[in-house]
Structure formats: structure tokens, C-alpha cells
Amino acid sequence: MAIAEMTKTITLKINGQETQVREGATIMEAARQVGIRIPTLCFLKEVNEVGACRVCMVEVAGMKNLAAACMFPAADGMEISTNSPRVRKAVKTNLELLLSHHRMDCLSCPRSTNCELQTLAFEYDAQQYHYENTSFRDEKNNIVPAIDTSSKAITRDNSKCILCNRCVAMCNGPQVTGVIGRNGRGFDTYIGSPFSLPVNSTSCIDCGQCVQVCPTAALTEKDDTQKIWDALSNPDMHVVVAPAPSIRAQVGELFGMPMGTNVQGKVVSACRLMGFDGVFDIDTAADMTIMEEANEFIQRFKDNGPFPMFTSCSPGWVKFLEFYYPEYVPNLSSAKSPQGMYGALMKTYYAEKMGIDPKNIFVATIMPCTAKKFEITRGDETPGFNATKYPDVDVVITTVEFARMIKQSAIDFKNLADSEFDPIFGVASGAGHIFGASGGVMEAALRTAADTLTGQSLDALDYKEVRGTAGIKEAEYNLGGQTVRVAVASSPARAKELLDMVKRGEREYHFIEIMGCAGGCVGGGGQPNVPGYMRNEYDIPALRADVLRNIDKNSKYRKSHDNPVVKEIYDSFLGEPGGHKAHELLHTKHEARNVYPPKTLFDYLPKE
């Protein structure tokens, strides 16, 4: 008997319409089948299923109390109302109670018009001052926000928190770091770190997934846009910018364009209209990363280790390993991420080619990842420069910040004509483009490693086994007569699962790619916020990743080592991959980190 035939179904009515659903489905799932989106502010499928917000209430015939649709199982013969007067009143009341504990500065809030609480309050005509709002005010009635700005990547503003628990569930679940949780009790409950530590004193990996799931502006990316505006207005500065591969697949969402729209040409045009002196494709630097990383892998293969070698392009993942698996620090590739390589080459190769003093070059990047803001502060020195004055990259902004700058520039992004990247650093291979999707770094590296190990230009370019949004993917390939075992994981939870298997001797790999966010950079913490109901119904990373795969498929060059710009940089400036100059400029060091500062837990307890 087929599996589908074995699945039991039940029949019920929703708003008078009869429907059938699988046995065990929730009322919310059943409602979706008939085109009803029951509101919720807390529910995230398989992440946060706790019924905390009480906004998803429905009326079930024969039941005294209203039921939370996100948790309550549907039953055969059940009759449900999602829009009765009782339901509408309950939802409106619960929203107004949330608003009574919420700082109301919606006009200047970074999540205005993209806030789930604001949207539902409008839809249900909830009055913001129906109940007295005295939260976060001092004796003179002045607002006293509880804001933590200690992190280089994110800002936490508890005056806008609605205690939905999404961030806690994400941090403790898929991201497994557990650096935030519910502190206090009753009306004094708040989201914070253990012992009320500032977030930068914890083992936070800056991934920003808490920002992604927050329905309000209680968690946001650290806004660094003013640094770019200041540089652009400085006539002595030569300001260059480069977007990461996934930016071109996501930023259109913030201008009303369908998810998965490729807006690469519009991104370039927008940057030029803002006044940047150079607009480059950081995917070219991704090709450089592959050249160095693949060379490093081949060298390790010849030297028999240490294995497995880990990719080092995701700063959230790298920080996770430094905190929780420090014994594997030697296994990390020493190659800088594309961002790091881009910055280093801008202030050396590009400066020399253009005849510009490096101190007058301001390097900005547009990233899908809040952890990239931390990455540029690692303190790596560019040889020949004073690192305190000339960092590789001067500022990182996220996709969301970039869209904010476009709007502040009064640019009609949706109707912009397409433009091409500047040629000096503007030709990227398809291999560089797929860095933004889980498995992309691995596939790009394999394309170059395979040609190098076999001494041929192979036609086989698609390593489909490492693609997709599955948490862990494994594959084995024969490259030049040698067996290469690889694995790909995205999110710290899957990384932990994979690393623990390696530690126990249950798995052996030569090469492992890990990303700090599910699905890779397309699901990064700096990407456009997607409402909870969409996250529950669609595979968002997969929709976004298709853009990058299609760019790769149609690229003139699909291997990093075939990129003519990369060849020219090595021939005229760096020498060979892995050589002395390349190693000085394009490689870095990693370090073991303490999960908490070197104190005892007793030092964090309140003093009498």
C-alpha cells in the first residue's frame, strides 16, 4: 500500500467550509488549506511552537475557551470559526495588551511598514493606547529604553520586545549557542543574556538569526550607513563598494519585487547614483578565495592532512568553531573570506594600478550577513600597512541597510536601467556567484581542485550532491584517481551534529563546508525580514538560491581558475596561488576563544 494511502485524513469545517486534512494537523495548518492565514506573532514551524502570543485564537464549536490554532490539533467533525465576533475581539485585545508594553516610535523605527506587530495592529484596528503604557518610563515619564549596543553586529532594544520567544528558540535551537533567554518573572520578564551580560561578553557568533525571526524591532542589525555617507561626502576619499553574491538575489524584495528576482544590474546602477567611485563584483574575490582554498586543500591532500579541512568563508561559523570546537582551529582554511580578500586587494593591487594612496581608499561591502561586521574587526594586518589605520574593509552594511540608503537617495530602484560592474575587478565566474548558497563554496572548490588534480579541464561542473537546503549533505568523488570525501552543513546545529560524528570517529572527510545560517548566505542575518507565516509555508533559502544557480549556469566562465581577471592579478601582482605574497595578503589566522570571559560564574552574580 502506498504511503499516501496509509495517511489518515479527517474532515472538519472552517468558517462553514468543509475540508480534509491529515490526522495530526493543527487548526492553523487546516486553515491554510482553505486559504485562511490565521495571525501569529510567535509561531515558527519546527523552531518556536509554544503558543506564547495568543494572537492565533479561534473558536471551536462546543468548547468553552478559545483555542490557540498554532498548537491545537484538528479533529474529525470539528467546526471552527476564525472570524467570529468573539475571536476578533480576543485577537484585538491581545494585540492591544502587547502594544501597552511596547515603545511606540513607529515613524522612526527601522522595521516600520515591515513589522509584524504593526501590520496586525492595523488589520485588527488595535488601539495603541487602549491600555495605559507605562513601560520603560522614568519618574518624569521619559522613555528609558533598555538597549544593548555592545555587539558589533546587532542591537537589542527590549522596549520593543513582545516576549514572543522566537529569538530565544532560534538561538537555542538551530543556532545552538543559547546566549539569550528569558530573564526575570511576571511583568519583570525580559529577554537577555545570562547574568544580564552585554551580548558581546557572551559566546554570541553574530549570526543575526535572532534579527531574522524577530517580528518587531527588538532586534536589528547595527546600522553603519552613516559611515558610508560620511566617506562619500569627503572629497579626499576614493570610495569603492562591492555587493556579495546573494545581495543581487534579495534586495529586490525590499522594493516590492518577487522573491528570487535577479537585480544585479540595478544594484550597480544604484551604487553609481549614490556616488561611489568604484563598483566591483566581490564574486571576483570569491574566485580568489577558491584559488587559495583549493590550493591549500590540494597541498593538505599531498601532505596527508590535517583533515578534515574546513572552509572559512562564513564568519559566524568560524566564530562558532573558535568558541565550541577550538581543537579544530588548525583544520580551518587560512584563506580569508571573499570580503577580506577584496579589501586587501583594493588597498594593494587596485591602489597600485590606479595610483591612489591606500589611506585615501575607503572600502565598503554589502553583505547578507551581520557577522561580517565582526569579521572586519579581527585585527588582521595587511603587510606594508598600519592595520590600525588601514583595515582591509572599512565598513560593512547589510542588504537591509543598503535598501535604506537607496531610499534615502530618492532612487527609483525598481525602474533603474541595468549597469555593469567596473572592469578592473568586475569579471566573476559562475563559481564565485554560487558562494551565496549552501554547498556553493564546496562545488566551486571542487571544480578547481578536480582540474588541478587531473591536469585536465573537465567538462563535469555540476556537483549536485552538495546542493540544496538539506541540513547535512555528504558525497564522495573520484578526482584524478583519488577518492575525496566531502560534507556540507548549514546552521550551527547541523555543524555540531557533523563535528560530533567526526570526533567520535563515525565519519571521515577530507573537506567540509559549513555555513552559519540555514541555506547559506541567502538566509543570512542581514537579509530582508520575512513574516513568520511565509517562513512557515515556503523554503525561502531555496527560492533565493535559485537566482545564484541560474547566474552560474549562464556564466561565460564557470571555474574560478578560468577567470581572466584572476589570472591577471596572479600574473602581474601576486605570483602563484599559495605563494609568499598571496599568503601575506590573502590569508589570516584563527584563534580559540573562551565561551565566556576568563572569570568564574560567581563574578557575574549580583554583589550585596
Q: How far is CA 591 from CA 168, 201, 325, 364, in A?
A: 27, 17, 11, 26
What CATH number corresponds to the domain at position 540?
3.40.50.1780
Find cell 578536480 and name the residue.
450
Find cell 579544530 and name the residue.
328
Considering the domain boundaries, does residue 102 fall inside one?
no
Q: What is the pLDDT of residues 191-236, one digit of tens each?
A: 999 888 899 999 999 999 999 999 999 999 999 999 999 999 999 9
Domain count for the chain, please give it: 3
- Same-domain check for residues 460 and 330: yes
**Of 185, 205, 221, the domain-final residue:** 221
On the question of pLDDT at 1 being above 70, the answer is no
On the question of pLDDT at 93 being above 50, the answer is yes
pTM over 0.75: yes
- Same-domain check for residues 171 and 72: no
Considering the domain boundaries, does residue 98 fall inside one?
no
Considering the domain boundaries, does residue 385 fall inside one?
yes
- Please, which pLDDT band fits residue 3 given cuts at 50, 70 and 90? very low
- Same-domain check for residues 258 and 237: yes
Which amino acid, residue 571?
D
Mean pLDDT of 495-510: 95
Q: Is the peptide bond before 306 cis (omega within 30 degrees of 0)?
A: yes
User: Quick one: pLDDT at residue 257?
Assistant: 95
- Same-domain check for residues 247 and 330: yes
Q: What is the pLDDT of residues 226-266, one digit of tens each?
A: 999 999 999 999 999 999 999 988 999 999 999 989 999 99
Cell numbers standing for residue 596: 565566556
Mean pLDDT of 492-516: 95
Q: What is the pLDDT of residues 111-158, one digit of tens each?
A: 999 999 999 999 999 987 777 655 555 555 554 557 899 999 999 999
- Same-domain check for residues 289 and 320: yes
- Same-domain check for residues 208 and 248: no
Considering the domain boundaries, does residue 235 fall inside one?
yes
Q: What is the pLDDT of residues 548-604, one digit of tens each?
A: 988 888 889 889 999 999 999 999 999 999 999 999 999 999 999 988 655 554 555
Lowest mean pLDDT segment, chosen from 233-237, 375-379, 441-445, 524-528: 375-379
- Same-domain check for residues 337 and 188: no
79-81 vs 9-14, strand pairing mode: parallel
End-to-end CA distance of the chain: 69
**Of 221, 236, 263, the domain-final residue:** 221
H or E segment to which residue 404 belongs: helix 399-408
Contacts of residues 592-601 at CB distance under 8 Å and 24 or more positions apart, as own/partner, are 592/322, 592/326, 592/329, 593/203, 593/319, 593/322, 593/323, 593/326, 594/323, 595/203, 595/323, 595/324, 596/197, 596/201, 596/202, 596/203, 597/201, 601/195
What CATH number corresponds to the domain at position 74?
3.10.20.740
Q: What percent of the chain has pLDDT over 70?
A: 92
How many helical (H) and strand (E) elements, i.e. helices and strands, does the chain have?
22, 18
Lowest mean pLDDT segment, chosen from 168-182, 401-415, 489-503, 528-542: 528-542
CB 137 within 8 A of CB 168: no
68 alpha carbon, distance to own chain's centre:
30
**Of 221, 247, 278, the domain-final residue:** 221
Considering the domain boundaries, does residue 126 fall inside one?
no
User: Quick one: pLDDT at residue 134?
Assistant: 53
- Please, which pLDDT band fits residue 386 given cuts at 50, 70 and 90? very low
Mean pLDDT of 527-543: 90
Considering the domain boundaries, does residue 103 fall inside one?
no
- Same-domain check for residues 211 and 240: no
Polymer length in residues for the chain: 608
181-183 vs 190-192, strand pairing mode: antiparallel
**Domain of residue 496, residue span:** 225-586
Pairwise pLDDT comparison (115 vs 460), residue with the higher score: 115
- Same-domain check for residues 489 and 343: yes
- Same-domain check for residues 448 and 565: yes
How far is residue 471's CA from residue 434's CA, in Å, rounded to a whole number? Answer: 17
Q: Is the peptide bond before 423 cis (omega within 30 degrees of 0)?
A: no
Considering the domain boundaries, does residue 272 fall inside one?
yes
In terms of average pLDDT, the best of 309-313, 412-416, 431-435 is 412-416
User: Quick one: pLDDT at residue 187?
Assistant: 76
- Same-domain check for residues 142 and 34: no
DSSP letter, residue 471: S
On the question of pLDDT at 317 being above 90, the answer is yes
Q: What is the pLDDT of residues 40-91, one digit of tens each?
A: 999 999 999 998 999 999 999 999 999 999 999 999 999 999 999 999 999 9
| Percent of residues in the chain assigned helix, strand, coil, to nearest 5 | 40, 15, 45
What CATH number corresponds to the domain at position 153?
3.30.70.20
Which amino acid, residue 516?
G
Q: What is the pLDDT of residues 437-449, one digit of tens each?
A: 999 999 999 999 8
Q: What is the pLDDT of residues 469-481, one digit of tens each?
A: 888 999 999 887 8
User: Quick one: pLDDT at residue 2?
Assistant: 45
User: Quick one: pLDDT at residue 382?
Assistant: 41
Cell numbers standing for residue 239: 570610495
Q: Which has the closest alpha carbon to 174: 290, 365, 317?
A: 317
- Same-domain check for residues 16 and 160: no
Considering the domain boundaries, does residue 57 fall inside one?
yes
How far is residue 401's CA from residue 408's CA, in Å, rounded to a whole number? Answer: 11
67 backbone dihedrals φ, ψ, rounded to 5°? -110, 145
Q: Which has the closest alpha carbon to 509: 328, 295, 317?
A: 328
